C-alpha cells in the first residue's frame, strides 16, 4: 500500500470514522447497526474510487481492503473492547459495489423515513415536489430488496431490526383524502408518484443469495473478470435467478384509483354544477332579474296560500311600513290602575 499516496490519508480517516461511529452509539437507537454498515460501505467505496482508474490497480482491491480491515479490527480491540457496542468489519458482506450501494440506499431510506413521513402528512402537496426525485431512486430499491429483510442471514436482516416500520404504502391511510382530491387535478406529481410505485413493484426481486450465485456463475465463465463493478441487476428477467416482483398492492392501487376517479371523473362535473348554482344564486340575489323573479314568486304564493312571510310582503308592497303600528289615538289605549293605590 505504501506506493499509493492516498493510503495514509485513508488510514487517518478510517481511525476518525471508527471513533465517530462508536461515539454516536445511543442505547435503543434502531440505527446503531446501520451506522456500522455505513462505515463498511465507506471503506470499500473509498478504496474502489482510488483504484478504479486502472484495471491493474483494481486487482489489488482485496489485498488493500483486507489490510485496512485488519487495522480497523485492531483499533476496536484496543480502544473500544469494553464498550457496550463494538463495530467490526463485516466479513459476510458480498463485495460488489452495486450490491453495497443498493443496500446503502435501502438503509438510508429507512433512516430518512420517519422525518419524510411527517412532512408528507403535514403538507402532501409541497412534499410531493420536494421528495419526487429522491423517491424515484429509493422506492424501486425498497420494493426489490424488501423481502430480503425477512431472511436471517441476509444483510438487511442483520442490520435492520423491524423493516415493516418503514413501509411507504403505510403513509397513504394517514393522508388527508380531501386535500389530495382537491389538489390532484392540478398536480401531476401525484400521478407520477403513483406510476413510480407501480413500476417499482413490477421489478424483479433481489437479495444477497441472487447476487452471490450470479457472481459465482460469472466468475466461472470469466475467471479473470472484475466483478467489483458488475451490475448484477441487469439480465435477471428470464434467468434462473429471476423472482417476479409484487406487481401491485391491491389496497394501495384501490386507494389511488379512488383518488384518481374522484379527481378526474367526479370533481370536474361537480365543480361545474356548483359553479352554475353559484352563478344562478348571484343573479337571483344581486340583479334586477332576480328581483323580478322574487316578486313573481311572492304573487304566486299570495294566490295559493293564505299566509305570506315577511320577505314576500316586503316584495309586494315595496316596504315594511304597512307592518308598523304607531297610532297615537288615545281611544285605543287602555289604562290599568293598580288595586293597591
Decide: 48 and 68 in contact? Cβ < 8 Å: no
pLDDT at 143: 95
Burial 127-151 (b: 16+ CB within 10 A, else e): bbeebeeebeebbbbbbbbbbbbee
Q: What is the 3-state secondary structure (H, E, C) of 96-129?
A: CHHHHHHHHHHHHHHHHHHHHHHHHHHCHHHHHH
Alpha helices in 146-185 (DSSP H): 155-159, 177-183
State the Cα–Cα distance between residues 14 and 9, nearest whole angstrom. Answer: 9
pLDDT at 73: 97
Q: What is the mean pLDDT of residues 116-132?
A: 94
SS3 content of the chain, % helix, strand, coil (to 5): 70, 0, 30
pLDDT at 255: 57
pLDDT at 341: 37
Decide: 97 and 44 in contact? Cβ < 8 Å: yes
State the Cα–Cα distance between residues 51 and 55, nearest whole angstrom. Answer: 8
Query: 87-90 long-range contacts, Cβ below 8 Å, gap at least 24?
Result: 87/18, 87/21, 87/22, 87/35, 87/36, 87/39, 88/36, 89/40, 89/43, 90/36, 90/37, 90/40, 90/155, 90/158
Q: Does residue 252 register a pLDDT over 60?
A: no
- Measured in whole angstroms, the distance separating CA 105 from the mean position of its chain's CA atoms is 15
Choose among 143, 203, 150: nearest CA to 167: 143
- Which residue would you say has higher pLDDT here, 279 or 211? 211
Confidence of residue 231 (pLDDT cuts 50, 70, 90): confident
pLDDT at 67: 95
Percentage of the chain with pLDDT > 90? 48
State the Cα–Cα distance between residues 241 and 67, nearest whole angstrom. Answer: 33
pLDDT at 232: 64
Q: What is the mean pLDDT of residues 74-78?
A: 96
Q: What is the mean pLDDT of residues 20-36?
A: 96
State the Cα–Cα distance between residues 206 and 258, nearest whole angstrom. Answer: 31
State the Cα–Cα distance between residues 106 and 156, nearest whole angstrom. Answer: 9
Confidence of residue 233 (pLDDT cuts 50, 70, 90): low
Confidence of residue 146 (pLDDT cuts 50, 70, 90): very high
Distances from the Cα of 39 to the Cα of 21, 61, 282, angstroms: 8, 17, 68
Choose among 203, 109, 208: nearest CA to 158: 208
Amino acid at each position: 500500500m505504501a506506493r499509493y499516496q492516498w493510503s495514509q490519508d485513508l488510514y487517518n480517516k478510517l481511525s476518525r470514522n471508527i471513533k465517530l461511529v462508536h461515539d454516536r452509539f445511543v442505547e435503543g437507537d434502531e440505527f446503531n447497526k446501520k451506522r456500522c454498515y455505513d462505515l463498511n460501505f465507506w471503506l470499500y467505496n473509498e478504496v474502489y474510487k482510488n483504484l478504479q482508474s486502472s484495471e491493474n490497480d483494481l486487482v489489488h482491491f482485496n489485498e488493500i481492503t483486507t489490510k485496512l480491515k485488519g487495522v480497523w479490527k485492531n483499533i476496536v480491540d484496543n480502544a473500544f473492547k469494553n464498550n457496550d457496542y463494538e463495530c467490526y468489519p463485516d466479513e459476510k458482506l458480498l463485495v460488489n459495489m452495486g450490491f453495497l450501494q443498493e443496500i446503502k440506499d435501502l438503509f438510508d431510506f429507512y433512516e430518512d423515513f420517519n422525518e419524510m413521513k411527517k412532512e408528507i402528512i403535514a403538507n402532501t402537496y409541497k412534499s410531493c415536489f420536494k421528495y419526487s426525485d429522491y423517491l424515484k431512486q429509493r422506492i424501486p430499491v425498497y420494493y426489490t430488496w424488501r423481502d430480503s429483510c425477512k431472511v436471517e442471514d441476509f444483510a438487511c436482516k442483520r442490520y435492520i431490526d423491524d423493516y415493516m416500520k418503514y413501509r411507504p404504502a403505510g403513509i397513504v391511510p394517514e393522508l388527508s383524502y380531501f386535500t389530495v382530491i382537491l389538489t390532484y387535478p392540478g398536480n401531476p406529481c401525484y400521478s407520477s408518484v403513483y406510476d413510480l410505485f407501480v413500476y417499482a413493484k413490477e421489478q424483479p426481486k433481489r437479495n444477497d443469495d441472487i447476487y452471490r450465485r450470479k457472481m459465482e456463475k460469472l466468475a466461472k465463465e470469466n475467471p479473470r473478470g472484475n466483478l467489483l463493478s458488475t451490475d448484477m441487476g441487469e439480465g435477471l428477467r428470464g434467468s434462473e435467478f429471476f423472482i417476479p416482483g409484487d406487481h401491485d398492492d391491491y389496497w394501495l392501487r384501490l386507494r389511488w384509483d379512488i383518488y384518481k376517479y374522484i379527481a378526474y371523473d367526479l370533481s370536474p362535473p361537480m365543480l361545474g354544477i356548483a359553479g352554475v348554482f353559484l352563478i344562478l344564486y348571484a343573479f337571483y340575489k344581486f340583479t334586477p332579474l332576480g328581483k323580478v323573479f322574487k316578486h313573481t314568486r311572492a304573487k304566486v304564493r299570495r294566490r295559493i296560500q293564505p299566509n305570506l312571510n315577511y320577505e314576500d310582503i316586503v316584495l309586494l308592497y315595496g316596504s315594511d311600513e304597512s307592518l308598523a303600528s304607531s297610532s297615537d289615538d288615545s281611544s285605543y289605549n287602555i289604562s290599568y290602575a293598580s288595586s293597591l293605590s
